[in-house]
Amino acid sequence: MSITIRYFAGVREAIGCAVEAWPADAGVPSTAAGVREALVAKGQPWSMALASDQVLRIAVNHQIVDANQVVAAGDEVAFFPPVTGG
């Protein structure tokens, strides 16, 4: 079983898609940070949109989490820029 990766707002625009599946045969990274690092390693456009100097929020299964959150097969991981109201 794979994980679902969703991108929102500017991240979605930079990558050019809203959702993708992490291949089941690739093994699931163990943390949210690991998912981000694995995506960056894919090269452009992921490496620019998800670079460590980009301030992003991460959600796992619709809950905002820190980078150390454990990720398991079947989870949904989402990346999005911080938002403000006003």
In a domain, 26, yes or no: yes
Tell me the H-state helices in the chain.
Answer: 9-15, 32-40, 46-49
How far, in Å, CA of 83 to CA of 46, rounded? 20
In a domain, 85, yes or no: no
Task: Domain of residue 76: give its range.
Answer: 3-80
- Count up the domains in the chain and report the number: 1
Percentage helix, strand, coil for the chain under 3-state DSSP, each rounded to 5: 25, 25, 45
Residues 6+ apart with CB under 8 A from 12: 18
* Phi, psi values for residue 15, rounded to 5°: -85, -30
Interval 44-85: pLDDT, tens:
999 999 999 999 999 999 999 999 999 999 999 999 998 755
In a domain, 72, yes or no: yes
Q: What is the pTM of this model?
A: 0.91
In a domain, 74, yes or no: yes
Interval 25-38: pLDDT, tens:
788 889 999 999 99
